[in-house]
Structure 1
């Protein structure tokens, strides 16, 4: 079977290779971890956190808690589920219960700090805004607003909850093999038909199901999710998904780095002065990721989720396969998944050229700034920057150039993502859930396919 990603067991812990996000490019900070007390207080004071609210909220509301939602992996592994689960709750006329993001220990920016909490976590509203995090629906939409896990414990005490274990559902609906929209409808029927106010979805034991999520690796790891794209893209969950104020403050704080730097006489007449209109963002994962790319080759993995859209210009052509020609297969995957410097520069050059040529009429397209989203901390990055400047780019900004306070550093991966969302062109890694969620936001924003590229 061809899948888009794999998860491995390493030293007793699940290690995901689906989330190719930047991890922690800043290293351990001498200052203590971010304090989120004020944001938690704000969440607790959301108007729907009141048992006396009239139905469909309050003590007469209908709720669903996905305790099988993934945790302690990369942020984008969780974001996939946050959005799809909250849409499932919406379509089932139930209130979605949102969680904190719980970090995988070695992704946490303060993993060695003496003040690091025993379970590092970040409030969901620090990372995103919108209905999935308790924000309002559109005017005239009276669907119940999402609530926090803390309030769920109040409005739905444990003895009032109907427990549904995924072991009793997924084998029946055959979720590993059927189209994505059928998986969605099967779960929707279960949640609609359940008479109980409070439903809690619990995961099967890992010995029974290594991926016990409602929308699991087999859903995201091939074309299955594409069956739902148009409905999901146009859903209020996608349309109203927003940048959190913390992330927005970091973007605003660092926008000056992207201001045009080139000589005005070389800028074509009519070119935009908006720095994002002149930026090409590129996601380059380095470090030990080469090993993960070799794992993808072993499993003959496809691109991940929304990166598989057939209308996007770059497709991955599968090599002979691990068991047929291992050397050629590994080389092909490494070339696309862990590209070397010359390949990176060549693809950047091609992406800019194709985007500029796609302009029509008075649409003057001019790209002179590169933004490199990366976890790299080696000489590779400085050497790449030098080569890009020699290649004619006027301005090269990297993740490491961003100035962030403690809260902004805690959500650094979302800061990078929002900048990539805003850029004129985005060049990503096709196997990455980080890239896939940027693709989702860009397409919802109306960005054209030629502005979305893969190595």
Structure 2
């Protein structure tokens, strides 16, 4: 986006292999590990490539992950030991939100299987936030730790009250490598298991979830890895079969799962929103975003993008936190979406995943949150033109739609607008001027966010944190970012009528 940013006892051989794997996979270098106990003393240092490219190191986030309670050596001595589930071939090569949709569902599956989900870094192959090509032409992709994005259960956070008390907490890939050697790991082949479980293209998402959970629960091995992808890849998530998972029976329900109900944005995201809060509201910074005073410094310049407060001064921002009064959040995807919207229109694509709750067939079941909007067509309007209108709204449509949603907002006094966008600054300035002329008191955007380098690397999540917190939201129905915002708003208790589409 266009933003400003400121600058069990194990043999030694196994430990060495772990060390090499960590160096290669994470982009960090590690001091020598000579004993099992040293696994609790790993120190991180940026690689030469990271330094050369000026990428953020996320050392504080890595430390946060390393010290999660489920990463203590005493866990390995427990009887019985926790059971884990690793997806080494989760979605990759796509944008973060496509990957994250899959990771959230895999977290839910692991929970149902009574296994700890293994979380990994996000590798910014697609839409990298920084240049990542070295002078010799080789590419060194940025690795973003999960807890730079989310600190909910998917990032190792608590399952919360009411969850299965025996459910293992998710763990990092580093922990998986150190505690699940290949000789003790059972490999489950995705394609073979799909056939075994009689899962076809006509199988509902709920049936798929239940059969996989039962299969994984029945495996006695502590360490299980699924080879060849995952049951919920982005192609499956993009279709309407995924919807039945939301309202699955009993504990299988994704919509009521601790994965979503306990969702929280990372302290890094929280810090960025807190510092930029004046852009989105004239109110005081709410408690959910306020730093712990005892952990901030009074050094001149502290708390700025140049010298941000330490992450341990901020708590993860729960999706269930109270909304920001009067705020209308807009998702306005531009850039590559101009071509992508045309492709989606030609393909006859429908709204992405949870955005389809508003489609008449979904609403008529009475099982799902009744979103008020769907991919509608005006009289004498082709489906192609309707899709473009929903996917690529003009400035005039944006102003008109925002005005209509403001008028329909029951019990809300919407007065401010935040535009989450990767549009060119001049386009954003034009739309903002038109919105102000239409009576909005404050209009701000991604372009104005003052972000430190590590915050800029997760700026998409910063935008999403604002959109989830807004009283009302208008998004792009075809977008996985919008779909993730919608599911987190619903899980956080927002009225379905406050999640709208262009």
Q: TM-score, normalised by structure 1?
A: 0.82
Is 1:238 the counterpart of 2:238? The answer is no
Q: CA, structure 1 residues 372+439, in 2 after alignment: closer, same or farther (shift >3 Å)? A: same
User: Which residue of the partner structure matches residue 236 of structure 2?
Assistant: 219
User: Which residue of the partner structure matches residue 130 of structure 2?
Assistant: 109
Kept in 1: contact 2:2–2:447 (CA 8 A): yes
Kept in 2: contact 1:28–1:113 (CA 8 A): no
Equivalent residue of 1:278, what SS? Answer: strand
User: Which residue of the partner structure matches residue 68 of structure 2?
Assistant: 46
Where do 4+ consecutive residues of structure 1 move more than 6 Å?
27-31, 113-117
User: Which residue of the partner structure matches residue 356 of structure 2?
Assistant: 308
Is 1:317 the counterpart of 2:379? The answer is no
Q: 1:425 aligns with which of 469, 472, 476?
A: 472
Matched residue count: 399
Q: Describe how 1:3-402 pairs up with structure 2 within 5 A.
A: 24-26=1-3, 32-53=54-75, 60-111=81-132, 118-139=140-161, 141-172=165-196, 173-203=198-228, 212-230=229-247, 231-260=253-282, 276-309=324-357, 310=363, 311-317=370-376, 328-355=382-409, 358-359=410-411, 365-402=412-449
Kept in 1: contact 2:3–2:449 (CA 8 A): no
The alpha-carbon deviation at position 139 of structure 1 amounts to: 4.8
**CA–CA distance in structure 1, aligned partners of residues 135 and 150 of structure 2:** 28
**CA–CA distance in structure 1, aligned partners of residues 232 and 126 of structure 2:** 24
The alpha-carbon deviation at position 389 of structure 1 amounts to: 1.0
Any stretches of 5+ residues in structure 2 without a counterpart?
8-52, 248-252, 284-321, 358-362, 364-369
Kept in 2: contact 1:162–1:200 (CA 8 A): yes
Equivalent residue of 1:97, what SS? Answer: strand
Q: Render the CA deviation track for 1:246-283: whole Å, top value 9, x for unaligned.
A: 0000110011122349xxxxxxxxxxxx9921111110
The alpha-carbon deviation at position 240 of structure 1 amounts to: 0.9
The alpha-carbon deviation at position 329 of structure 1 amounts to: 3.6
**CA–CA distance in structure 2, aligned partners of residues 286 and 49 of structure 1:** 41
Kept in 2: contact 1:282–1:426 (CA 8 A): yes
**CA–CA distance in structure 1, aligned partners of residues 6 and 195 of structure 2:** 46
**CA–CA distance in structure 1, aligned partners of residues 220 and 268 of structure 2:** 39
Q: Which has the higher contact order (CA 8 A, sep 6+)?
A: 1
Kept in 2: contact 1:32–1:110 (CA 8 A): no
The alpha-carbon deviation at position 166 of structure 1 amounts to: 1.5
The alpha-carbon deviation at position 447 of structure 1 amounts to: 1.1
Q: CA, structure 1 residues 188+352, in 2 after alignment: closer, same or farther (shift >3 Å)? A: same
100-109 or 405-414: bigger deviation = 100-109
The alpha-carbon deviation at position 25 of structure 1 amounts to: 2.3
**CA–CA distance in structure 1, aligned partners of residues 346 and 195 of structure 2:** 27
114-123 or 291-300: bigger deviation = 114-123
Any stretches of 5+ residues in structure 1 without a counterpart?
1-23, 204-211, 262-273, 360-364
Q: CA, structure 1 residues 392+213, in 2 after alignment: closer, same or farther (shift >3 Å)? A: same
The alpha-carbon deviation at position 160 of structure 1 amounts to: 1.5
